[in-house]
Amino acid sequence: MPRRLFLGSSAAAGGLGLLAACAPGSDSGSGGSDGGGSGPAASDVETDPAALGEITLKVWDQEVRGAQNDAIEALIEAFQKDYPNITVDRVSQSFDDLQQQTGLALSGNDVPDVLQVNNARGDMGEFVKAGQLTDLSGYAEAYGWEDRFADSVLAKARYSADAVTFGEGPLWGLPQTGEVCGIYYSATKLEALGAEPPASWEDLFALVEAAQKADEQPLVLGNLEQWPALHVFGPLQAHFVPSDEIVTLAMGNAGADWTDDANVQALTQLADWAASGAFGDSPNGLAYDTAWADFTKGTGVLLIGGSWLGPDMEAVMGEDLRFMAPPAGTDGTVATTGGTGLPFAIPAQAAQADAAAAYIDYITSDTAMELIADKGGMPVLNTADLAPSSGVNKDIYEAFDAVSTDGVLLPYLDYATPSFADTAGAALQEVIGGQSEPSAAAETLQADYSEFTAGA
């Protein structure tokens, strides 16, 4: 979640108390308790932004890091040059700040026209259920989005109108970028340890031990915000748990069990790493952005994290920074957490919905994909064709392509239930801190998951 950048349900938690009383469309056919803000038919969409008159388009996003910000600013500049009748009023916030503001904004009277929304049930799912987002199906038909985007990409922003089903139904957002969690490493530190990039999880475990013996911190993690641990645990989980079970758990579908032996083994490995000091002295007291910045300054050998960190870390580390997909999981194929960047959505009460859709189409066009790649981001479309010839982004693009085509791009675990981001974040933090046994953490995760799936 440049997400990710990323993942938490604080927006939903902060705003849901207001939704029942003032959900947009609750007195009309646009939503209410049945969910699903209505959208226009394709025939009613104005696809020429120049025909919309002099307007101001309010955009909220969390594209704040260097490469992300550079790309979105360049796209906004180009959009306004092509359509001088539209002024883009952009508000950029960190992911956590955006999470805090979204629920309140959507339940108020002054909403943005374009808003990045986390795909998770606790965010997009709850906003769909409350009728607070616009069904983009008509816009998708008018602009040909279903021809341009793969079904697997669009599925990550689809919910049924009542938000019971995730992955099918109307479209509620459109992403710009792809994401994959993998392993960053310092090439010089691996060389100093006499090690090669790990070809198996057993190799990775051995590398962690070798680094500790050499008085190097093996792994870097800043988990003050709780959600970063999900990006470490997700890839690790695939070493123990079959991919199809992880997908079932992460999508909040019935039929899997957090308390089975494989999941407890994965939690135990996380606990063992933490207890041995592999993450340093106090990973739960270290902020996410501080941790990856420390890695660029020489702390640690490996950092398990998201692709969005690559450009900013490369700016400091240069050619010493490398990235790889995790080793093959228990299925024998590469499986790791990933997906798309936060989709751009249109609130149900947006004042300029047609202009918002035109903006979203513009920033997800083929030309936009080229610009995103040029600025150092990873476009969700045409990834293989746009891969750079060298550098960490070459590694990242190749890893994303390998996982998304020949492996399994596992959903973010916080997708599972409306409260799972908070539940899992707290549970993993307690495992890392030694306050909770792995089996007890598994019971906590199962309780949230089973309660949701029983009532879905």
Instruction: Quick: pLDDT tens for 230-239.
Output: 999 999 999 9
Tell me: pLDDT of 19 over 50: no
Tens digit of each residue's pLDDT (9 = 90 or more) over 123-166: 999 999 999 999 999 999 999 999 998 777 888 899 999 988 88
Residue 67 vs residues 78, 123, 295: alpha-carbon distances, Å: 17, 25, 18
Over residues 89-98, mean pLDDT: 90
Dist CA 211 CA 116 (whole Å) = 40
pLDDT at 382 over 60: yes
Residue 5 CA to chain centroid, in angstroms?
A: 6
pLDDT tens digits, residue range 155-168? 889 999 998 888 88
What pLDDT is attached to residue 107?
A: 85
pLDDT of residue 164: 85
Query: What is the CATH architecture assignment of 179-338+411-455?
Result: 3-Layer(aba) Sandwich (3.40)
What CA–CA distance (Å, rounded) separates 246 from 255? 11
Give the per-residue pLDDT at 167. 81
Q: CA triplet 176, 178, 179: central angle to 5 degrees?
A: 135
Region of 50 on the Ramachandran plot (φ > 0 left; ψ -120 to 50 alpha; else beta)? alpha
Residues 412 and 337 sit within 8 Å (Cβ to Cβ): yes
Output the 3-class SS for 206-240.
HHHHHHHHCCCCCECCCCCCCCHHHHHHHHHHHHH
pLDDT for residue 195 is more than 50:
yes
Contact 336, 181 (CB under 8 A): yes
Write the CB contacts of 153 (distance below 8 Å, at least 6 apart in sequence): 175, 340, 380, 381
Q: Mean pLDDT score of the chain, rounded to an integer? A: 89
The pLDDT assigned to 400 comes to 87
At 424 the pLDDT is: 98
Residue 371 has a pLDDT of 94
- CATH superfamily, region 10-177+341-382: Periplasmic binding protein-like II (3.40.190.10)
Q: Are 162 and 246 in contact (CB under 8 A)?
A: no
Q: Of 341, 309, 339, give the one whose Cα is nearest residue 117.
A: 341
> Residue 122: its pLDDT value, please?
83
Single-letter amino acid code for the residue at 411: P
pLDDT for the residue numbered 311: 86
Q: Residue range 85-105: average pLDDT?
A: 90
- Give the per-residue SS3 of the chain: CCCCCCCCCHHHHHHHHHHHHHCCCCCCCCCHHHCCECCCCHHHCCCCHHHHCCEEEEEEECCCCHHHHHHHHHHHHHHHHHCCCEEEEEEECCHHHHHHHHHHHHCCCCCCCEEECCCCHHHHHHHHHCCCEECCHHHHHHHCHHHHCCHHHHHHHEECCCCCCEEEEEECCECCEEEEEEEEEEHHHHHHCCCCCCCCHHHHHHHHHHHHHCCCCCECCCCCCCCHHHHHHHHHHHHHCCHHHHHHHHCCCCCCCCCCHHHHHHHHHHHHHHHCCCCCCCHHHCCHHHHHHHHHCCCCCEEEEEHHHHHHHHHHHHHHEEEECCCCCCCCCCEEEEEECCCEECECCCCCHHHHHHHHHHHCCHHHHHHHHHHCCCECCCCCCCCCCCCHHHHHHHHHHHHHHHCEEECCHHHCCCCHHHHHHHHHHHHHHCCCCHHHHHHHHHHHHHHHHHHC
**What is this structure's pTM?**
0.75
Domain residue extents for the chain: 10-177+341-382, 179-338+411-455
- What is residue 35's predicted lDDT score, i.e. its pLDDT? 54
